[in-house]
Amino acid sequence: MDETPDLGPLPKRISVEVEQVERLVADQFPQWGSLPIAPVAKSGWDNVTFHLGDSMLVRLPSAREYALAVDKEHEWLPVLAPSLPRPIPVPLAKGTPGAAYPFSWSVYEWIEGRPASFEAVADQIGLARDLADFILALQGIDASVGPQPGIHNWFRGATLLTYDASARDALATLRGHVDVELVQEIWKSALDSRWDGVDVWFHGDLAEGNLLLDNGALHAVIDFGTCGVGDPACDLAIAWTLLTAESRVVFRERLGINDALWSRGRGWALWKTLVYCANSVNESDAAAVNSRRVLDEILAEYNAR
């Protein structure tokens, strides 16, 4: 991509009520109209999610930009799923606007599992291997006609320069709280690295909430809204956000990653973590503490290389 995309302001999100979902399902999929509908315990940012009976879920984009991923998911997830070593969501049906809800939406099978967290992982080395094997399998799928980076996935798979402004804004907020010179050095190293390989598939947001565990081990990978083809560096951020120093080495060796790609992966992790830390600079809840832990991991790993 020759020009750095302008992401603009965050999308204006909408709320979705249970009654709307009940009407949408009853009107468009009457075979499921008698099933109970209830919000999930924790929805993501891009989509509002509801249980549909005991074995399905309804997933509704929370903004027009996020709705761009619906058609992509319906086209590509059934293609990707058979080649992957862990379950991923495969859509059962696609809904259309209605009941005062303005976007396309989806019905999926419910996948059991506990969202990953640093504390919930039972075997860090095993997780590192499982994550690497999942990424390798994903990258092995033909990417020749896959979706290129764009607004549909917030330019995952393209240059990190897309996020330079937000990273620098976050760092300005954190001045006095972090080693600014070291952070700038790590960020510049990532920006200076360029992808010159053949496009491959990537998930785009291999974050804790999108990895489901069963007894502390990787069970499934969900939320492919940011998937696409291009530079796979964005999928490496998980090495710093969830793995330990020891398991990070295993993860990198299993993937066979060179220094340039690793540097960009570190850059993706740094950008996300700087934003989280800046948004919680004076807070002490679990999320704020975890974001600072991740930043410490990034700085320590860079210094030890």
The number of distinct structural domains making up the chain is 2
Whether residue 110 contacts residue 57, with contact meaning beta carbons closer than 8 Å, is answered with: yes
Question: Within this chain, do residues 124 and 152 fall inside the same structural domain, yes or no?
Answer: yes
Question: Within this chain, do residues 287 and 175 fall inside the same structural domain, yes or no?
Answer: yes
- Among 3-17, 19-33, 211-225, whose mean pLDDT is lowest? 3-17
* Last residue within a domain, chosen from 60, 84, 111: 111
> In angstroms, rounded to a whole number, what is the distance separating the alpha carbons of residues 9 and 102?
20
- What are the pLDDT digits (tens) for 60-101? 999 999 999 999 999 999 999 999 999 999 999 999 999 999
Question: Within this chain, do residues 65 and 122 fall inside the same structural domain, yes or no?
Answer: no
- What are the pLDDT digits (tens) for 140-158? 999 999 999 999 999 999 9
Angle subtended by helix axes 245-255 and 124-139, to nearest 10: 30
| DSSP per-residue codes, 21-83 | HHHHHHHH-GGGTTS-EEE-SS--SSEEEEEETTTEEEEEESSHHHHTHHHHHHHHHHHHGGG
197: pLDDT strictly greater than 50: yes
Amino acid at 205: D
| DSSP per-residue codes, 103-149 | S-EEEEE----EEP-TTT-S-HHHHHHHHHHHHHHHHTS--TTSPPS
Question: Within this chain, do residues 123 and 247 fall inside the same structural domain, yes or no?
Answer: yes
Q: Whole-prediction pTM value?
A: 0.95
Question: Within this chain, do residues 53 and 71 fall inside the same structural domain, yes or no?
Answer: yes
Question: Within this chain, do residues 216 and 182 fall inside the same structural domain, yes or no?
Answer: yes
- DSSP-derived 3-state class of residue 92: strand
CATH of the domain at 40: 3.30.200.20
* Last residue within a domain, chosen from 88, 111, 134: 111
* Last residue within a domain, chosen from 67, 96, 111: 111
Whether residue 258 contacts residue 231, with contact meaning beta carbons closer than 8 Å, is answered with: no
Q: What is the pLDDT of residue 196?
A: 84
- DSSP-derived 3-state class of residue 291: helix
Is 45 part of any domain? yes
2: pLDDT strictly greater than 50: no
> In angstroms, rounded to a whole number, what is the distance separating the alpha carbons of residues 131 and 242?
11
Strand partners, 202: 228
> In angstroms, rounded to a whole number, what is the distance separating the alpha carbons of residues 267 and 36?
43
Q: What is the pLDDT of residue 6?
A: 62
Cα Dmax for the chain: 60
Domain that holds residue 149: 115-303
If you ran DSSP here, which 8-state letter would residue 10 be given?
A: P
Question: Within this chain, do residues 73 and 125 fall inside the same structural domain, yes or no?
Answer: no
Q: What is the pLDDT of residue 8?
A: 62
